[in-house]
Homo-oligomer: A and B are copies of this chain.
Amino acid sequence: MRSPKRPPVPRVKDDDYSESAAEARREFAREQTGVELSHTSHYSIDPASVQGNIENFFGVAQVPIGLAGPLLIHGEHAEGEFYVPLATSEGTLVASYNRGMRLLTACGGVKVTVVEGFMQRAPVFFFDDARQAREFGAWVDAHRNGIREAAESTSRVAKLAHIEQYAVGPLRYLRFNFTTGDAAGQNMVGKATFAACEWIKQEHPDGVRYQLSGGIDTDKKHSQLNTLHSRGRRVIAEATIPAQTIRDMMGVDTKTMFRGRQASNAGAMLAGSVNNGAHAANGITALFIATGQDVANVAESHAAIVYTQLQDNGDYYWSITLPSLIVATFGGGTALGTQREMLELLGCYGQGKADKLAEIIAATVLAGETSLLSAVLAGDWVSSHDRLGRNR
């Protein structure tokens, strides 16, 4: 076993979330790397406040936030015009979303609906053969109440909605689906599922062997399973864009747009893409960073199904379905200094607000779709004019 040549990162026993501990680590980093941390050391949050959010805290990343909006939203939880903070370092992102927000607001706003929401943990149980595994599945069905009680004993919030079951060889994958209120809930459901599994192990007559994750949760990664059965919230943003409005504001016509949509759909099938839209990840990520979400959940959350229709009058019905938007307004990074302020700015801090936040994010995503697509098409349109111009 090789010992590291360089020293471990210093920790201060019993006082590791203090400014002095943070400073000790910065000093350590300076010594080890020669880098002055003049920016990273500049923050307003109290190191004590990051306990539970991070270990070995030694500074912050300052990620610029731009303000976009207003965006008119007609959700069941978010209603009215919103200003949306977007944290990013990618130039034009805020401008582009802003442009889309102007368009959608001019069109009467975005309707947004949360259609369902679950957080999962999915253990796999090992058996001698497929038949035993199948019988175990029946046993689980017959013992739902006991399993639910065990799972729900671990939290006041997590409620077991249902258990999916999948059979592969001698394995039985159980996918526990919980509602978790305003928390994203990954830890909550991990604990609850563990309790459920232990209850099963104890109660099952033959004993069982399991692994707490069999890879189909599917956590921190996209899967078709997530697209089908939702991870986090399944949110749908919709708008009908009058042909005249988009022509006036974006310089594109809806017929061309709809024709292009057919190519994008075919392209998504061809590429095996998990999103037949443009760039949902941009808006989601910028809002996730700004509002203290678990940003790694962009992996799951960026999947989308765009469904549009060109209406007889030339107006364009546009919807985007985000099947796995994972948001929290409670727990995680939501209470950190800047993140909390951004949630408050959206009226989304604390309990009872997660659906509202989900609606705002989905509406923002739709704004970004309209803006980028328009830019792509207007480029074509502009260059067509160029070419036609040159011909003269």
Contact = CB atoms under 8 A, between A and B. Distances in A.
Contacts of A122: 267
A207 B383 CA distance: 13
Contacts of A228: 166, 224-225, 228, 270-272
A60 B62 contact: yes
Interface stretch (A128-136, A144-152, A153-161, A350-358): A128-136
Interface in A19-78: 25, 28-29, 32-33, 35-40, 42-45, 50, 52-70, 72, 76
Interface string A68-108: 11101000100001010111111111110010001001111
A213 B225 CA distance: 21
A177 interface: no
Given A64-B50, A134-B113, A238-B130, A344 B45 contact: no
A324 interface: no
Interface in A296-329: 296-299, 302-309, 312, 317, 319-321
Interface string A233-263: 0101010001011001000000100011011
Determine how many copies of this chain the complex contains.
4
A18 interface: no
A341 B167 contact: no
Contacts of A52: 91
A67 B58 contact: yes
A2 B106 contact: yes
Contact of A56 (B94, B166, B308): B94
Contacts of A143: none
Which of A36, A295, A306, A320: most chain B Cβ within 10 A?
A295
B37 A336 contact: no
A356 B306 CA distance: 37
A11 B238 CA distance: 29
A12 interface: no
A62 B44 contact: yes
A40 B282 CA distance: 21
Given A65-B57, A126-B263, A272 B70 contact: no
Contacts of A361: none
Given A68-B56, A169-B319, A344-B33, A98 B9 contact: yes
Nearest to A184: B90
Contact of A380 (B81, B130, B211, B289): B211
Contacts of A320: 169
Nearest to A49: B64
A386 B44 CA distance: 44
A292 interface: yes
A68 B55 CA distance: 9
A39 to B, nearest CB: 3
A124 B285 contact: no
A42 B106 CA distance: 34
A42 B8 CA distance: 31
A173 to B, nearest CB: 6
Given A2-B107, A167-B236, A214-B263, 5 more contacts: A61-B339, A111-B129, A221-B277, A228-B272, A298-B302
12 contacts: A1-B248, A40-B342, A55-B94, A60-B62, A115-B137, A130-B319, A166-B270, A207-B387, A211-B376, A215-B265, A222-B274, A265-B276
